[in-house]
Amino acid sequence: GHPTSDPEVIRQIVSLIKEGCDAIVGISTGGGMGMMPEGRLQGAAVCQPELASFNLGSMNFSMHPVARRYKPEDW
Neighbouring C-beta atoms of residue 10, cutoff 10 Å? 21
Q: Evaluate whether residue 74 is within a structural domain.
A: no
The CA distance from 46 to 57, in Å, is 20
Domain assignment present for residue 2? The answer is: no
Q: What is the mean pLDDT of residues 21-33?
A: 83
Establish if 23 belongs to a structural domain.
Answer: yes
Specify if 33 maps to a domain.
Answer: yes
User: What is the residue type of 26?
Assistant: G
In a domain, 72, yes or no: no
Total domains, the chain: 1
Could you tell me the residue range of the domain that residue 30 belongs to?
7-58
Is residue 67 a part of any domain in this protein? Answer: no
Asked whether residue 68 is domain-assigned, the answer is: no
pLDDT digits (tens, 9 = 90+) for 32-71: 777 777 888 888 888 888 888 876 556 666 666 777 777 7
What pLDDT is recorded for position 28?
A: 82
